[in-house]
Homo-oligomer: A and B are copies of this chain.
Amino acid sequence: MTTIREIAELCGVSVATVSRVFNRPLTVSREKREVVERVARELDYRPNESARALASRRSGLIGLVWDTDHRRPGWRHPYLQELLIGLKTALSAHGYHLLMLATSGSAALRAVGASLADPVAYVNMTRRHHLGGLVLIDSGKDGPAFTAFAQSGLPCVAVDVVVSGDRATYVTSDNVGGAREAVRHLVEAGHRRIATITGPPANSPAADRLAGFRTAMAEAGLDVPDDHVVTGDFHRGSGQDAMRRLIALPSPPTAVFCASDEMAVGALLAARHAGLRVPDDVALVGFDDIELAALVDPPLTTLAQDKAGIGAAAAHAILTMVHNGQTPPPAVLPTRLIPRASSRARR
């Protein structure tokens, strides 16, 4: 590989000038700049990124924390692939690469004496590699670790976890708004006894969806008996279990808002099993708009999250911090109601 020194010698300038041509071209006279650029092109010069990072303490890399431990089902969420793509694409467009950090169970972590979801390990990796900052994707129960990392002062943006700190922000969907829209949609379809299957209480989107549900029910003047709120874990099995309990109620709901499509699919199976017709006996609305939602029978009404948009928003947030030193406010992306047969209006 050609180095800055060879170019400098060939052009009869100092290495400092060559360096400036690549980093702050406007501080170099036009003649010298053009010579350097031409020679660099001819020699197919590529800056050595390790050397740049060492000297400048900046790396052109953004770190990604996405714990894929096999004991945790969270990472399998189909949502994440599109989010990752949105993130990577937006970073790429600005010339940044995405470093997927070794996480739990890894030798790298053990070497630094760290355990699962250890914020200290994140800080170390960020420093060691001179990362511009970190994007944190929650695959289940990383919330507390993320919150702790956000205090470190290193730039970070969390997805679906509320964090605060000088250089910390987060990106999420408008979960409250989406849940309200779900309820309004069901009310318009003629429902009054509407139940909900929630996500894990400690999960922020889950909590927001429940809050939105309650708000909208209150706005509609509808009551929410305690047994009409059943806690799930976002996954299919829990939706199925929850639905069975709702069906068994003395006065079962005529509609159920599920905080995820996976749970709604589970609820659908439970309803079918119990001999109930959807939507005639019980209407269902999910959340996420995963591919499966459109493919089940009947197709599932849901609130679409802008998955790629969330990834892109995370990218923009972290780049804003890296470039401007400014911490952008949390980004809350709108959801979109996708009406399908599972909540068709009652005749």
Contacts and interface: CB of A to CB of B under 8 A. Distances in A.
Interface of A: 1, 46-51, 53-54, 59, 61, 64, 68, 70, 75-76, 78, 80-82, 85, 88-89, 91-109, 111-112, 124-125, 127-130, 291-292, 295-297
A106 B127 contact: no
Nearest to A68: B85
Contacts of A125: 97
A46 B291 contact: no
Total identical chains = 2
Contacts of A47: 128
B92 A108 contact: yes
A115 B105 CA distance: 38
Nearest to A111: B95
Contacts of A108: 92, 95-97
A104 B99 CA distance: 17
A62 to B, nearest CB: 10
A8 to B, nearest CB: 19
Contacts of A64: 100
A98 B100 contact: yes
A292 B46 CA distance: 45
Contact of A106 (B51, B93, B99): B93
Nearest to A127: B1
B88 A100 contact: yes
A107 B95 contact: yes
Nearest to A109: B92
A94 B109 CA distance: 10
Contacts of A76: 81-82
Most buried by B among A47, A59, A75, A124: A75
Given A46-B127, A49-B129, 15 more contacts: A50-B53, A50-B129, A61-B99, A68-B85, A78-B81, A80-B81, A92-B105, A92-B106, A94-B106, A95-B108, A96-B102, A97-B99, A97-B100, A97-B125, A292-B292
B81 A49 contact: no
Contacts of A100: 64, 88, 97-100
Contacts of A95: 102, 106-108, 111
A84 B53 CA distance: 27
